Amino acid sequence: TRASRRSEARGRTPLAPRVSDLRDALVRLYAEKGVAIELAVPGDLTVPCEGQDLDEMLGNLVDNACRWCRSRVRVTALPQASGVRVAVEDDGAGLEAEAAEAVMARGRRLDEGVPGHGFGLPITLELAELYGGGLTLGRSDLGGLKAELTLPA
């Protein structure tokens, strides 16, 4: 129907400008650490979610990567048959499988000495699931954590 097409169009958000703005802000925030954030996001890629929700999900993932990296973060996005996959990777220490599972629980923090509340990843997972997507954590070829956010087509 025409109404559903309008709401669909309203709910599609261009990915590249959001990721670029986020990079600019976080590079300034982590200037003392000298974090380099590489982007590989197609300019025409859109995701089916509201901009504010996308900002929250990406913000949580990229901020975590900046916080835990040595000096390098990489954000890549690829269209897939089932939707869009956004990978956020860092060159930090990474997490073992058991620890990766633990950080997905609300309020659970592995390092109390680092600022944060432990809600970022669980909120990101919850938002992704509301849109029919998901979030998985694994090992990056950079050496650290690889968080993969999937959103449906």
Question: What domain range includes position 14?
Answer: 2-152
pLDDT in tens, 23-68: 999 999 999 999 999 999 999 999 999 999 999 999 999 999 999 9
User: Residue 125's domain is classified under what CATH number?
Assistant: 3.30.565.10
pLDDT in tens, 84-138: 999 999 999 988 777 777 777 654 444 444 444 456 788 899 999 999 999 999 9
pTM over 0.95: no
- Which stretch of DSSP H or E encloses residue 127? helix 120-130
DSSP per residue over 40-58, as a string? E--TT-EESS-HHHHHHHH
Strands (DSSP E) found in 28-98 = 36-40, 46-47, 72-80, 83-90
CA 130 to chain centre: 15
Domains of the chain: total: 1
